Chains A and B, each alone.
Chain A
Amino acid sequence: MKSKATGPTLSYRLAVTSRSLAALLGGYLLASLGSICISLLAPMQKVDAVLSGMMLSFVFYLLAFIWCFACRSARRAWIGVLLPSLVLGMIDGLAYWMNY
């Protein structure tokens, strides 16, 4: 990952930007959906479930960040945050629909 004497190539820069966006935005989406999932499904009082969801969401965000820079390509970074988000989103939608 070190910059060579000639400087990083354009495609490398684009890949890093893409990963950063995946981490920043995709990670946030994942963390938000994860926190909703906990706040709707955790078997406790509403306020406790919401608090737990928010407190744990940062763990999701952290893991998403680490994944986005540890995986092999920028494409995998996006897949790695969007696929779980999609699953969580569907669970959230179902839980929300059952609640109301």
Chain B
Amino acid sequence: MKEGFRQAMAWLHTWTGLIFGWLLFAIFLTGTMSYFKEEITHWSQPEVRSHPLDAAASLGLAQQYLQANAGNAGSWFIRLPNEREAALNVGWREEGSVGRRGFVSRKLDAQSGQAVVARDSRGGDFFYRFHFQLEMPHPWGRWLSTFCAFIMLLGLVTGIITHKKIFKEFFTFRPGKGQRSWLDGHNAIGVLVLPFHLMISYSSLVLFMYMVMPAGIMASYDNSREYFNEVFGQREAPRAAGIPTSLVALPELYAKVRDQVPGARLGWIEVQNPGDLNSRVIMTRASADSVAFKRSDNWTFDGASGEQLSRGKPESTAMLVSFTFAGLHMGNFADSWLRWLYFVFGLAGTAVIGTGLVMWLGKRQLKHAKSDSMPTELRLVEVLNIASMSGLLLGVAAFFWANRLVPVTMEGRADWEVNSFLLVWALSLPHAMLRPGRRAWAEQLALGALAFALLPLLNALTTDHGLVRAIAANDWAMAGFDLTALAVGLFLAWAASRMMRAPKLADKRVSRAVKAPPETLGEPEAN
């Protein structure tokens, strides 16, 4: 702080990065996985079959099912199948229930309209929820992860300030040089993918700004519902009239939507007071249809007469900006190649955090390279590094193994998948404590390599959706999962083998470290 602005920023970068790095790593990794949320769910629930898409037919099936099974419900919700999600999702709120408690949801087969008997699994939704709720009670997880996003943004800004040669070393990566290479790699991934990093961390704040920064809403609105209604163009559900009236056919309303906007796809459909004179049908356009995530892009119909009551207002500039940040963050609009790039950039963000954590320790270990024992605080960081990175990967693998191995009929099996994830992750901590640093890394990475590389085999043995069959059936979500698992396994095997080998480079570093005090070795940004 007193040594100058850049040093102060380097200090801030170093310490906020260390304290929040472990959690940020988990948030980024699970968030990156969420770009393939539907694909992961597809792998986790192979019982749900995909069929050629026919939105109108699916709407009709959903209406039939809800009519038969939830005729008295206060409201219905429908999500149509799309290119990425095979199931026709329906849900309803039990009559007279409040809050989440009375909410029932079902996955229907898109062709037969019957409920699919699929294994109970949270699939990709688990990782998606974890990345912003952290399995903590509401709303603490959301607050914490949003604060982590702010720290990421702060880390990016302080990192840019600290990084002296941002343009001079724009294209620089020098491998095989120990700490120097780690720093090069950290800087290069940070700088080259900077637009993504900035977008993803700032947009996380925008997504939850109504929660973390509500002062403006409180000053201008009587309550937050008024604000939401204005932003999302929603109206309160009318009171039920108590006069039974049959609901207009939903496919007809969809045809009206398509008359107005040819090619429009629907995402979320809500029916308020179904079967009543005062029923309302709200159709919201699919978020895949535009970069901005516009919940305001909707149509409201009178459910009894089928007359269109209102159309979502065009968004103002400020709305469009905030919706665009939300849309960019979630990437619903991305087709498959852009989605893969999203995934790669997400991994890049994860890698920036990971390399930062490794460097923090590596630089300080140099001072103690000659002695056998490490100071307690460095050992603590080492253990947490191992458990938060390789341990997390083991946890993820455990989730998928549990998905295939826990009996399909078992009560509460979805919880057991989650428990396996948490349990294995937690177990990686004592393991890292008991084994010396490099050994612990090597063993956990090697186990992770096995666990991921064998997933395709496990899949082929326990289901009839193995890699070969999936490719033959053109089921690229299933095959892509297996191939990605294989690639992750190979990468972890490579990393493990690097860790197994005696650290030759460390010797060189030690000899250099002896000659010069470590502080003068690296640049300030290496802190």
Contacts and interface: CB of A to CB of B under 8 A. Distances in A.
Direct contact of A and B (CB under 8 A): yes
Nearest to A29: B215
A54 B205 CA distance: 9
A55 B157 CA distance: 17
Interface string A52-79: 1111011001100110011110000000
Contacts of A31: 213
Interface string B210-249: 1001011101110000010011000000000000000000
Interface string B2-18: 11010111011000000
B471 interface: no
A46 B220 contact: yes
Given A1-B1, A35-B215, A55 B322 contact: yes
A22 to B, nearest CB: 13
B316 A66 contact: no
A35 B150 CA distance: 16
B12 A54 contact: no
A31 B202 CA distance: 15
Contacts of A70: 1, 5, 8-9
A45 interface: yes
Interface residues of A, number: 34
Q: Which of A50, A65, A69 has the most CB of B within 10 A?
A: A50
B153 A47 contact: no
Contacts of A51: 231, 318-319, 321-322
A81 interface: no
B221 A50 contact: yes
Interface in A5-45: 31-33, 35-36, 38-40, 44-45
B383 interface: no
Given A55-B206, A66-B12, A96 B219 contact: yes
Given A1-B1, A44-B318, A45-B316, A38 B216 contact: yes
B165 to A, nearest CB: 21
Contacts, number: 103
Contacts of A69: 1, 8-9, 11-12
Contacts of B3: 1
Interface in B325-348: 325
B317 A48 contact: yes
Given A31-B213, A44-B318, A51-B322, A72 B1 contact: yes
Q: Which of A45, A49, A69 has the most CB of B within 10 A?
A: A69
B209 A2 contact: no
A48 B12 contact: no
A70 B10 CA distance: 10
A61 B527 CA distance: 24
Q: Which of A48, A51, A69, A71 has the most CB of B within 10 A?
A: A51
Q: Is the interface of A mostly helix, strand, loop or mixed?
A: helix
Contact of B319 (A47, A66, A96): A47
Contacts of B169: none
A54 B202 contact: no
A57 B216 contact: yes
B219 A47 contact: no
B8 A1 contact: yes
B497 to A, nearest CB: 35
B287 interface: no
B133 interface: no
Contacts of B216: 35-36, 38-39, 49-50, 53-54, 57
A47 B296 CA distance: 13
A47 B519 contact: no
B5 A62 contact: no
Given A39-B220, A50-B227, A57 B519 contact: no
Contacts of B231: 47, 51
Interface in B110-135: none
Nearest to B206: A55
A44 B316 CA distance: 10
B215 A2 contact: no
B26 to A, nearest CB: 22
Interface of B: 1-3, 5, 7-9, 11-12, 150, 153-154, 157-158, 202, 205-206, 209-210, 213, 215-217, 219-221, 227, 230-231, 316-319, 321-322, 325, 519, 527
21 contacts: A35-B213, A39-B217, A39-B219, A39-B220, A40-B219, A47-B231, A47-B318, A50-B216, A50-B217, A50-B221, A54-B209, A54-B210, A54-B213, A55-B322, A57-B216, A58-B213, A62-B154, A66-B157, A69-B11, A70-B9, A72-B1
Given A31-B213, A44-B316, A58-B213, 8 more contacts: A1-B3, A36-B215, A48-B318, A48-B319, A57-B213, A58-B205, A70-B1, A92-B219
5 smallest beta-carbon distances between A and B, as pairs: A39-B216, A32-B215, A48-B318, A53-B216, A1-B11
Interface of A: 1-2, 31-33, 35-36, 38-40, 44-55, 57-58, 61-62, 65-66, 69-72, 92, 96
